[in-house]
Amino acid sequence: MPAARVLVLFAHPALQKSRVNRRLAAAAAAVPGVTLHDLYETYPDFHLDVAREQALLVAHDAVVFQHPFYWYSSPALLKEWQDLVLEPGFAYGPGGDRLRGKRFLSAITTGGGAAAYTHGGHNRFTIGELLAPFEQTAHLCGMVWQEPFVVHGATRLEDETELSRHAAAYAARLAAL
Ligand SMILES: Cc1cc2nc3c(=O)[nH]c(=O)nc-3n(C[C@H](O)[C@H](O)[C@H](O)COP(=O)(O)O)c2cc1C
């Protein structure tokens, strides 16, 4: 069976400062079938080409949102992407079936450690709970939610072996989509 066509929508507003997402993105780009789409590189002025984005979605079997966790959500351009690209009649609502059946993976890095994302922890909610808007967005569009890929404690991750381990784990998740 040919590899699934996987569209990685990558959003990092300060890639030159990134350690973890930079590594994950490079690993993703090397996986057969993966299209790495760097949104901040493509749309530095936030003027999204909606028709192009929708055509990209239609041409892939799985959709990945890859980004650092910013204020318990995505960086602004990925929110803009959702607001403009997921139109009624395309993504949901009457006739809006173009994303139906595609797998959806949320791939995030967090500054907070795993223990912070517990009910007794610093961030009070689990990652699963905080990603509920993404899960419901995928559901509304008929996409199949996958267990999120999360790298915790990303701001303190410096060890080369650890970085490589996370990059390999991410590549494996993408290859299995
Ligand atoms: C504007 C901003 C908001 C952030 N919000 C969160 C947050 O809500 N939760 C969290 O765990 N980390 C938060 N962080 C930390 C980032 O998630 C962290 O720097 C990033 O995952 C590191 O990945 P990178 O090396 O690819 O930049 C925030 C960072 C910035 C700059």
Domain that holds residue 102: 6-175
- Closest atom of ligand 1 to 71 CA is 8
How large a percentage of the chain has pLDDT more than 70? Answer: 99
In a domain, 171, yes or no: yes
With a 6 Å cutoff on the Cβ, whether 18 touches ligand 1 is yes
What's the structural domain count of the chain?
1
Which pLDDT band holds residue 2 (cuts at 50, 70, 90)? confident
151 in a domain, yes or no?
yes
CB 11 within 8 A of CB 66: yes
pLDDT at 3 over 90: no
Torsion of CA 28, 30, 35, 37, to 10 degrees: 60
| Both structure tokens of 161 | 């072996």
CATH number, position 54: 3.40.50.360
In a domain, 1, yes or no: no
Structure tokens at 105: 């993976």
Segment 158-176, tens digit of pLDDT: 899 999 999 999 999 999 9
